[in-house]
Chains A and B, each alone.
Chain A
């Protein structure tokens, strides 16, 4: 492991450079909006920076809603397997309740 070569993103400066380039692109795209004339099909498109705003807000909302959904939907990894094991061990034991199993079982 000691001999392992340094990889591209092991250097934090490279990550910083990549992010700076990315921020620059975003800024340029926003500025272009002031100069380029586009065909409008929907009234909302008249808003300056409609697409950037929609993309950004949409994704932030998406992540917040999805994170909140976790509180409702998230279960342990073996949620369904646990059920199987549960019933399997159950069947190996004598029926706890009378009538829990069919008499012919």
Chain B
């Protein structure tokens, strides 16, 4: 049964090689078959399978299967499949290969049983995904991609250093529960935190994702942050600090999302907001909370993917993505509009949509464990996410004022991918037991009781009422062409400016020192020159040293000749 011992990243990496040497229809078939065959293969794998060998006295486990890694394995296959169908019309070979390798790297990381393997896939995630950003082929995407790459590689380096320290402390590289104690655990925690878009370290996401190609962002939204969530769920469940970090993540991006003009950047902010819910769940650490976090990660991959796909379709068909330039697209893009609204309802956690069945698990866990304030913050974040992702995205793209753009619905493959995602959103919302059965812990949780449904519906309807009221009163901030400052201002503007000034001073001092040294040197040369010209002898008018050497050589040669002849 060698097939079963094949780690799930292998089909994707092999598939990328095959796709590189095929063209046209054949390549499309290969690309679609990869995630399907991979998922079939994964469904046959028995729980608890290990693949391990020893390297320099450490156990290396490149393939470890348990319930936690399996559910991420499934969702990564689904995301890859949807993304590939969505990008089927793309003719850019590099982008297609990058997408396959990127999905494979995410799978490699999800099934890594040791820190070294995790590190390798961690870095591969960065190096493969950056090509999806550069595939947009604009100056902005190039510079954003560079910033993205630097931050991602930094996270990888921290992970590597942490892993080395960890090996020193525990004499093992096993990737299991780590918990916050000692320098190694902190280094690994920060490395995971950067990829997970913790506050302050979050800006790579909102900077780079909206600059990627229409198809690339769909892949990007699925893998990197979810791998980080998986790693946190594996190594740091029950770390209380995560509850507060997660609550901050759920809360602050919604303010940015309300005033952001680029609709894909709005979605990037709401991606951080959703990851915040997962981080809170992991921080609480009870079976229900971790289940909720994992289930929410599963659903988020699908509904966030759906939203990015619908905005990608808008970008693909109109060439525009700013809220200030769009509007009224429902007239000619009715299918995209409907699919986008399904995604919006899912992320807003409307009952009967997928977000509801997982977000309520985290909320219930928060209140059960006595985190009342965190629960209130999450409730506010739930209302906020509906406000910006649930209403703002569909409203400003498809309704609002008529922009006069008459773009038609996108190509069939894009619609098909969105339809699959939408079907999954509704399917999971109506029949959550299917998802619950895959969760890492046994659960008897039921999302559909009167209390939950009524509370959530009231919350959402009155959030919508607030939007309607603000819009009718003209109090809602209009979409304006603008750049909003975020943490990236520090490294794109403040630090470069400070460094520029600092170096200007340093160069000035350096220049003065050089001039001074040059003057001293010059005066020395003049001094010797004058002495030379005073001597003005046969040997030293213009090139004293060289002349001297030649005359010396002639004298010695003459002497040598004499010594030969004298014998």
A23 CB, min distance to chain B CBs, angstroms = 8
Q: Is B372 in contact with chain A by the CB < 8 A criterion?
A: yes
Contact B507 A54 (CB under 8 A): no
A64 CB, min distance to chain B CBs, angstroms = 8
Q: Is B44 in contact with chain A by the CB < 8 A criterion?
A: no
Contact B367 A41 (CB under 8 A): yes
Contact B451 A39 (CB under 8 A): yes
Q: With a 10 A CB-CB cut-off, give which of A33, A49, A75 has the most chain B CB atoms.
A: A75
A residues less than 8 Å from B34 (CB atoms): none
Smallest CB-CB separation from A30: which chain B residue? B458
Contact B510 A55 (CB under 8 A): no
Task: Evaluate whether A66 and B255 lie within 8 angstroms (CB atoms) in the complex, with A41-B367, A103-B511, A103-B514 already known.
Answer: yes
Q: Is B460 in contact with chain A by the CB < 8 A criterion?
A: yes
What's the Cα separation between A100 and B500 when bound, in Å? 9
Q: Is B25 in contact with chain A by the CB < 8 A criterion?
A: no
A residues less than 8 Å from B399 (CB atoms): 9
What's the Cα separation between A30 and B330 when bound, in Å? 31
Task: Evaluate whether A55 and B482 lie within 8 angstroms (CB atoms) in the complex, with A7-B330, A103-B514 already known.
Answer: no
Per-position binary interface string of chain B over residues 452-480, scored 1 when its CB falls under 8 Å from any chain A CB and 0 otherwise: 00111111111111111110000111001
A27 CB, min distance to chain B CBs, angstroms = 10
Task: Evaluate whether A56 and B462 lie within 8 angstroms (CB atoms) in the complex, with A62-B384, A66-B255 already known.
Answer: yes
What's the Cα separation between A99 and B507 when bound, in Å? 5
Q: Is B19 in contact with chain A by the CB < 8 A criterion?
A: no
What's the Cα separation between A80 and B504 when bound, in Å? 21
Contact B482 A74 (CB under 8 A): yes
A residues less than 8 Å from B259 (CB atoms): 66-67, 69-70, 73-74
Contact B483 A67 (CB under 8 A): no
Smallest CB-CB separation from B466: which chain A residue? A59
Q: With a 10 A CB-CB cut-off, give which of A65, A72, A79 has the most chain B CB atoms.
A: A79
Contact B482 A56 (CB under 8 A): no
What's the Cα separation between A44 and B367 when bound, in Å? 12
Q: Is A12 in contact with chain B by the CB < 8 A criterion?
A: no
B384 CB, min distance to chain A CBs, angstroms = 5
What's the Cα separation between A74 and B258 when bound, in Å? 12
Contact B483 A80 (CB under 8 A): yes
What's the Cα separation between A74 and B459 when bound, in Å? 30
A residues less than 8 Å from B467 (CB atoms): 59
B residues less than 8 Å from A66 (CB atoms): 254-256, 258-259, 477
Among B210-258, those with CB < 8 Å from A are 254-256, 258
A33 CB, min distance to chain B CBs, angstroms = 7
Q: Is B508 in contact with chain A by the CB < 8 A criterion?
A: yes
B481 in complex: contacting residue of A36, A45, A77, CB < 8 Å: A77
Smallest CB-CB separation from A38: which chain B residue? B451
Q: Is B379 in contact with chain A by the CB < 8 A criterion?
A: yes
Q: Is B13 in contact with chain A by the CB < 8 A criterion?
A: no
Contact A55 B383 (CB under 8 A): yes
A residues less than 8 Å from B468 (CB atoms): 19, 22
A residues less than 8 Å from B140 (CB atoms): 81
What's the Cα separation between A66 and B266 when bound, in Å? 13
The main secondary structure of chain B at its interface with chain A is helix
Among A54-105, those with CB < 8 Å from B are 54-60, 62-67, 69-70, 72-81, 83, 97-103
Contact B480 A56 (CB under 8 A): no
What's the Cα separation between A60 and B372 when bound, in Å? 22
Contact A74 B484 (CB under 8 A): yes
Contact A58 B255 (CB under 8 A): no
Contact B465 A56 (CB under 8 A): yes
Q: Is B41 in contact with chain A by the CB < 8 A criterion?
A: no
Contact A26 B330 (CB under 8 A): no
Contact B483 A103 (CB under 8 A): no
Contact A67 B507 (CB under 8 A): no
Among B477-517, those with CB < 8 Å from A are 477, 480-486, 492-493, 503-505, 507-511, 514
Contact B511 A99 (CB under 8 A): yes
B residues less than 8 Å from A7 (CB atoms): 330-331
Contact A76 B508 (CB under 8 A): no
Task: Evaluate whether A100 and B504 lie within 8 angstroms (CB atoms) in the complex, with A63-B475, A63-B477 already known.
Answer: yes
Contact A52 B451 (CB under 8 A): no
What's the Cα separation between A79 and B483 when bound, in Å? 7
Contact A56 B466 (CB under 8 A): yes
Contact B508 A98 (CB under 8 A): yes
Contact A75 B484 (CB under 8 A): yes
Contact A62 B387 (CB under 8 A): yes
Q: Is A47 in contact with chain B by the CB < 8 A criterion?
A: no
B206 CB, min distance to chain A CBs, angstroms = 13
Contact A42 B462 (CB under 8 A): no
Contact B470 A60 (CB under 8 A): yes
B326 CB, min distance to chain A CBs, angstroms = 15
A55 in complex: contacting residue of B254, B450, B466, B475, CB < 8 Å: B466
A76 in complex: contacting residue of B451, B457, B483, B511, CB < 8 Å: B483
Contact B458 A60 (CB under 8 A): no
What's the Cα separation between A44 and B455 when bound, in Å? 13
Contact B463 A42 (CB under 8 A): no
Contact B482 A99 (CB under 8 A): no
Contact B384 A33 (CB under 8 A): no
Q: Jot down 14 A-B pairs with beta carbons below 8 A, ordered by A.
A: A7-B330, A36-B454, A38-B454, A51-B462, A52-B459, A60-B470, A63-B466, A63-B476, A66-B255, A70-B477, A70-B482, A74-B484, A75-B485, A97-B504
Interface residues in chain B, defined as those with a beta carbon under 8 Å from any beta carbon in chain A: 140, 254-256, 258-259, 330-331, 364, 367-368, 372, 375-376, 379-380, 383-384, 387, 399, 449-451, 454-470, 475-477, 480-486, 492-493, 503-505, 507-511, 514
Closest 4 CB pairs of A and B: A99-B508, A59-B466, A66-B258, A55-B462
Interface residues in chain A, defined as those with a beta carbon under 8 Å from any beta carbon in chain B: 7-9, 19, 22-23, 25-26, 29-30, 32-33, 36, 38-39, 41-42, 44-45, 49, 51-60, 62-67, 69-70, 72-81, 83, 97-103
- Other 9 A-B pairs with CB < 8 A, given A52-B458, A59-B466: A22-B464, A32-B454, A33-B454, A38-B451, A54-B379, A63-B477, A70-B484, A76-B483, A102-B503
